[in-house]
């Protein structure tokens, strides 16, 4: 399946779910597709120059349907299922995309961070900082570099799958990753670089005050993003 086909199928399922939002279980819209990517980071650089790899990718929900239902259950005066699902899912195929190989970033970010986007992107930024440092030290693709990734990144099991590593090395650095993946709304810009920041305390229990505050910020960012997109369309 191509990315265009996957996007079309994604949008069909999401809009079908919106029409049938009262269903106990909604259909999964995250169709996988394959894409050739140019691996060019010096951490994983071919001796004969940039090379391409075919990578299997899939969109990932900003947060899962169970989290949406939990937030609606916990805070019924603030959230309603259909509007929240629409905000988080509708026309957001390109928002979060990860390689599909086990163990995937998609799986790991839920297990470790309960899908918190801010903590996930902080972990991703740590990864890029490490491989940049290690490449400069001449430790690219070395045991020492892998050990550091394992110690400092909670999603390291996903990053160190070779196909996922190759995909991540198709971006020059964290700022390049943010710009090419269109994640500017989730990070802060300092000069010419983007940096991930924590939006609330580091609690990941969905019924915690930290998660409530995190979710409020997430909703604000997505609502602002929707306004900006509608403004451009006009």
pLDDT digit string (tens) for 48-67? 667 899 999 999 999 999 99
Confidence of residue 47 (pLDDT cuts 50, 70, 90): low
Poorest-confidence range of 2-6, 22-26, 135-139, 195-199? Answer: 135-139
* 218: pLDDT strictly greater than 50: yes
Q: Is 117 exposed, middle or buried (0-12, 13-18, 19+ CB in 10 A)?
A: buried
Predicted local distance difference test score (pLDDT) of residue 40: 84
* 228: pLDDT strictly greater than 90: no
Predicted local distance difference test score (pLDDT) of residue 171: 95
Predicted local distance difference test score (pLDDT) of residue 234: 33
For residue 180, what are the CA distances in angstroms to 66, 96, 97?
29, 11, 11
Residue 151, by phi and psi: left (phi above 0), alpha (psi -120 to 50) or beta? alpha
Predicted local distance difference test score (pLDDT) of residue 122: 98
Predicted local distance difference test score (pLDDT) of residue 90: 97
Q: Which two tokens stand for residue 16?
A: 């079908």
Give the long-range contacts of residues 77-85, CB within 8 A, separation 24 or more: 81/21, 82/18, 82/21, 84/219, 85/17, 85/18, 85/21, 85/26
* 109: pLDDT strictly greater than 80: yes
Predicted local distance difference test score (pLDDT) of residue 44: 83
Q: What is the pLDDT of residues 83-92, one digit of tens each?
A: 999 999 999 9
Number of Cβ within 10 Å of residue 25's Cβ equals 8
**Closest C-alpha among 130, 186, 187, 172 to residue 153:** 130
Q: What is the pLDDT of residues 65-89, one digit of tens each?
A: 999 999 999 999 999 999 999 999 9
Cβ-contact 220, 78 below 8 angstroms: no
Confidence of residue 233 (pLDDT cuts 50, 70, 90): very low
pLDDT, average across residues 190-207: 97
Backbone Cα Rg of the chain:
18
Give the Cα separation of 25 and 196 in Å (integer).
33
* 137: pLDDT strictly greater than 50: yes
Residue appearing with tokens 């890029």:
128
Which residues make beta-bridge pairs with 189? 194
Q: Specify the pTM.
A: 0.94
Find the Cα–Cα–Cα–Cα dihedral 103, 96, 218, 204, rounded to 10°: 0
Predicted local distance difference test score (pLDDT) of residue 139: 87
Q: What is the pLDDT of residues 20-42, one digit of tens each?
A: 999 999 999 999 999 999 998 88
Give the Cα separation of 201 and 217 in Å (integer).
12
Predicted local distance difference test score (pLDDT) of residue 48: 61
pLDDT, average across residues 125-141: 93
Q: Which two tokens stand for residue 116?
A: 């918190």
């Amino acid at each position: 399946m191509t990315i265009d086909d996957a996007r079309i199928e994604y949008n069909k399922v999401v809009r079908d779910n919106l029409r049938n939002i009262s269903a106990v279980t909604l259909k999964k819209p995250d169709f996988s597709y394959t894409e050739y990517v140019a691996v060019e980071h010096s951490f994983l650089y071919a001796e004969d120059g940039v090379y391409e790899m075919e990578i299997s990718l899939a969109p990932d929900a900003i947060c899962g349907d169970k989290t949406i239902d939990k937030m609606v259950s916990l805070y019924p005066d603030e959230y309603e299922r259909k509007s929240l699902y629409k905000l988080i899912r509708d026309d957001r195929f390109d928002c979060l995309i990860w390689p599909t190989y086990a163990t995937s970033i998609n799986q790991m970010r839920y297990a470790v961070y309960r899908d918190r986007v801010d903590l996930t992107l902080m972990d991703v930024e740590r990864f890029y900082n490490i491989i940049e440092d290690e490449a400069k030290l001449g430790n690219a693709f070395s045991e020492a570099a892998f050990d550091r990734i394992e110690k400092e990144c909670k999603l390291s099991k996903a990053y160190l799958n070779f196909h996922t590593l190759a995909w991540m090395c198709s971006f020059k650095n964290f700022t390049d990753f943010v710009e090419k993946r269109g994640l500017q709304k989730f990070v802060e810009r300092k000069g010419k670089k983007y940096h991930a920041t924590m939006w609330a305390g580091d609690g990941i229990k969905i019924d915690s005050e930290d998660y409530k505050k995190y979710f409020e910020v997430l909703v604000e960012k997505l609502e602002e993003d929707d306004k900006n997109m509608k403004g451009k369309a006009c």
